[in-house]
Amino acid sequence: MTSFFANAADALKEMSDKGSKSTELGEDSKKELKRMEVERAGTFHQVSSIYQSDVEKVPKQPHHQKKDSKAASSKSEDEVKHEKELRRLRRSHPLGRVVNRKCSVPLLGMSAKGTNYRGIVNLMCLLLVALNLRLVLENLIKYGILLRPWEYLSINNLRHHLPLVYTLILVLCCPALSYIIERYIAPGQKDRRLANALQLSVLLAVLIGPLYTIETTAPHGLLAMGLLCCSVTYAMKIVSYWHVCHDLFWSVKKNKLEMLLGDEKETLEVARKYPRCLSLKDMYMFIAYPTLCYQLWYPRYPHRNWMRLLKYTALLLFCLALQLIIMQQYMLPILLNARIMLIDSQSWRESALIVAERVLKLAVPNLYCWLLMFFTLFHTWMNILAELTRFGDREFY
């Protein structure tokens, strides 16, 4: 019995020890559980923060974009309203309007940069066309058609103009005389005095002969003008030929050709053959060329462009016809009316005013005539000569 109770006591003691141990284990497990829960909460917080940052990095979804666009639009609308309000206030209060903000130059000034005046040029062209059309209509209403081209084309009494033909032949023979002087007389001299005197006499014959013929015969105006143009042109060509041959003579005599010509290889090659490099054919080719500067060598095209020649011929005829229209339809009536008004004038003051008014009225058609004469002579006629002679340098003026 005693042993039974002893065994029971031992069993109870073990159970109590186990209970105490279990309570101790329970407290430890509780502490462990709490620690695990805290760690779990911390990791959840870290994960949630990481997820939040990742979500912010990820592009917004369409519904978010709609919300943001609505917010931006509402914001922009507010800004627009605010700007409108500011403009309204500044419009009513000049103190808030700052117009002159920086230093600048005038748009129409010479120092203005990046300014395009094309519109002003177009306006001036339209104004010029309108004014000239008004003058044309006014002239036609007042005078009608006054053109008489046959007055210039019909030349009566051709026998009366034969002295002009003889003078033209004399002028055309003068370049041959100048060539003979330089080719056969000048090379055998020491100082060229005789050659220079002969060249001067040829030059005077070219200039004075036509003047004397025109003064004594009183020919038609167009024929006289043509003869004088040929005379002056050939005289200048002879002067150029004379000067070049003078330089060539002394350069060969003093052995200075290489120093004078330098890199002009083509001219130097020809100049070494002096006086055999001078020929009558070259002299008359120089007379036909559209240039006043004599050279021993000229650039030339290999062939003629007949279409270009036809174009320049048509331009020449058009310009001549336009000049005739301006002179007969506009300038001649102004001059005739001026003479009548001067005869009827009562005082010198009235005459002075009439002259001033007529001169100003002649200014515009006179300017057109001069421009057309320049274009006709230096562009169309020179290009026709250049195409016929295959002359290379077309920068005549």
Divide the 397 residues of the chain into consecutive groups of 10 and give the mean pLDDT of each group: 51 52 49 57 47 46 48 68 76 66 71 74 90 87 79 64 90 95 89 92 95 89 90 96 91 83 81 89 94 90 93 95 90 88 84 89 91 92 94 82
307 token code pair: 């279409």
Helix (H, G, I), strand (E, B) or coil at 231: helix
Give the model's pLDDT for residue 85. 79
- Phi and psi, residue 391, nearest 5°: -70, 135
Task: For residue 275, say if its preceding peptide bond is cis, omega within 30 degrees of 0.
Answer: yes
Helix (H, G, I), strand (E, B) or coil at 391: strand
> CA 241 to CA 279: how far, in whole Å?
12
Give the model's pLDDT for residue 208. 95
**Residue 390, by phi and psi: left (phi above 0), alpha (psi -120 to 50) or beta?**
left
Cross-strand bridge partners of residue 391: 300
Whether 184 contacts 212, CB under 8 Å: no
Give the model's pLDDT for residue 7. 54
Give the model's pLDDT for residue 212. 94
- Quick one: how far is CA 228 from the chain centroid? 36
Residue in this structure with the two tokens 């290379």, named with its chain if needed: 392
> CA 327 to CA 128: how far, in whole Å?
20
Cross-strand bridge partners of residue 300: 391
Give the model's pLDDT for residue 369. 93
> CA 266 to CA 29: how far, in whole Å?
119
CB under 8 Å, gap of 24 or more: what pairs does 347-355 form? none
- Quick one: how far is CA 1 from the chain centroid? 141
Give the model's pLDDT for residue 257. 80
Give the model's pLDDT for residue 203. 96
**pTM for this model (two decimals):** 0.66
Residues 241-272 as b or e (16 or more Cβ within 10 Å = b)? bbebbbebbebbeeeebeebbeeeeebbebbe
Rounded alpha-carbon distances, angstroms, from residue 357 to 1, 341, 342: 168, 11, 12
Give the model's pLDDT for residue 270. 85
> CA 178 to CA 198: how far, in whole Å?
8
Give the model's pLDDT for residue 198. 95
Q: 328: Cβ–Cβ under 8 A, 6 or more apart, which residues?
A: 146, 147, 148, 149
Give the model's pLDDT for residue 220. 80
